Structure 1
């Protein structure tokens, strides 16, 4: 990752415990504040608080975000590969790309992963399987998605960026090396260098220069500027912040935007 690559801020608007009206308002405010990317998540139930609280489906709302926004990129952090046919995912992503283009290029980022939240699987009738089987399914799906993008008419307006979440060294990082434009994880600053070494070894094996992959990591609550600077020194350039309903407090977002702007000059 080049030292000149600018720092970007992504905010995950967790679609739980809030009305959709509040979610819509929050996304517009994030765009006004200058956030680079708005994310949601791909689950069917809240992950914190009341497990049966208010909740909304990810891909449906992405269509609304594509239409209501003008500048901000958007996507899911991250899509669960298990819930939708691979070719359908490709077509949905291409459609969001065009909805968001508005005379230019699209703004959709295809974030994806193998899935992990068993309640989603059980209640919606998907086979949970094992971590290994879900990762194999993701590895099988990505070539299909890329092949479908090459066949669709009209084609995507740009090379849709693929963001893959996860840190497993034996399978996930190999998939990242093969397919990702952005790698997202939740590791500590002192773990990043080792993970990037592993990623580089997989890049050598699959024949790809992985230095072109943007490194993303979460800035969770309690993270300090010192933490962010340590992540940056290790190669992280996309920092994500999670906010939850019902209120979606944006004060922490404002502070990190100010830090981004100071760092980018």
Structure 2
């Protein structure tokens, strides 16, 4: 859970016991360790948060008086493995209110490709753009969780293999949010690629050579948002016009 400056005196506590997850082989695996961490937001206090172990449970609490707590990013380990998974929760059970077939590829590792990896760094939130040849993919993603320098890669075989990290404008290192990338075509048929970077102010970078070179990030206006232009849809009745949606 999250605590902000308005709830510094409100004590909140969560306990986690007998926790299990499905591993990549489709088997239940008990959670016997957890990492104590917090976001890097400047408004979050570190003085009145705490985490630890009680019996066979982890706990996390915030609010109230200052307290001693483990160093952030500490690993908390249970002395013994969790108990057996509850019998009333069968593996892979899923409540469904629809009848269409469900194809879950999460455990089909031969279909998965590692695009990038960096020890000790969260790499996620990718946005991709498929080019007109049906095989070239461009991918942007932050070097961190929801923020950080924008990383950029290209695939020429439909995502089976990927380039190394490609050169980017210096301003891409100043991104404060998850980037998005889109193909847009103006009313005259001129094609461009745009990369958006959110928070305030929202900024965009433009490529007019299919992603080989890019302009620096520049403000788009006196506004901002989260995952700016997370969805962009071409308006079929207005050439060169698009509908874009995001949340602030």
Shorter chain as denominator, the TM-score bin is under 0.3
The TM-score normalised by the length of structure 1 is 0.22
Quick check: which one's strand share is greater?
2
| Greater fraction of residues in helix | 1
Higher relative contact order (CA 8 A, sep 6+): 1
TM-score with structure 2 length normalisation?
0.23
